[in-house]
Amino acid sequence: MTDDPLTELILVRHGESDVNVQRVLGGEVSCTGLSDLGRRQATALRERWEAGDAPAADVLYSSPLPRARETAEIINPALGDLPIKIEQDLEELRPGQADGMTFAEMQEQFGPFEYRSRPDKSMVLDVETRLTFFYRTSRALEKVVADNVGKTVVIACHGGVIDVAFRHLLDVAPQGMFDLWTINTSLTEFRVQDADDKRGRWMLVRYNDHAHLSGLPAETATA
């Protein structure tokens, strides 16, 4: 057995949000927080934590977007009412002028764009590129880990951030090879042991664990 400190990251995708229901790109302008179903999802996760079916947390971080912050606030009583640390760079991809638009509306206004095949190009003048998003989020994750060696860290964040965590921590390509479909309020857990002179290899403990959502609708019904 090693005595090197064990660091755990538990990433929680936010509950279903109003922008999820509206099917729009939700940034700091258009995001208004969770839908009614999203609050039920986050409450179900809190109850699961209260029942002891998730690791005790030492630290709680959140993206600055309302849907992530509200998720963190709902689950926090089960974590011991920890201070919520807002990490700006754990925000979802920043949509710029496309904030609040559907993908179809964005293409109609700004023209067609193949987002996946051009990771270094912006869809709209001030929209983050996929590569910029990857490196911004990777740096933020590294900072969180470096500041919390030996602790269990819960992060309320976004599907895109969890995708980056997978690729960065498990050392695979920044894009391509596979797609992730991360469910609202699911748990994704990584752990690593840090020695004095180097960090060990990250291990994926679980991905998309959403057992607490049993009995809830998959999404809000829309017309």
pLDDT over threshold 60, residue 53: yes
Instruction: Classify residue 110 as exposed, middle or buried by CB count within 10 Å of its CB (0-12, 13-18, 19+).
Output: middle
Placement of tokens 């023209």 in the chain: 111
Question: pTM of the entire structure?
Answer: 0.94
**223 located within any domain:** no
Sheet holding 203-209, edge to edge: 84-86, 59-62, 152-157, 6-13, 187-193, 203-209
Look up the domain containing 21 and give its range.
6-213
CA-closest candidate to residue 12, choices 144, 137, 141, 186:
186
**219 located within any domain:** no
- Of 103 and 40, more confident: 40
158 in Cβ contact with 70 (< 8 Å):
no
Which CATH number belongs to the domain containing residue 197 in this structure? Answer: 3.40.50.1240
**66 located within any domain:** yes
pLDDT at residue 106 in the model: 83
Domain count, the chain: 1
pLDDT over threshold 70, residue 10: yes
**99 located within any domain:** yes
Report the C-alpha gap between 16 and 68 in whole angstroms: 10
Give the pLDDT confidence of 70-124 residue by residue, as tens digits.
Answer: 999 999 999 999 999 999 999 999 998 889 999 888 888 887 766 666 666 666 6
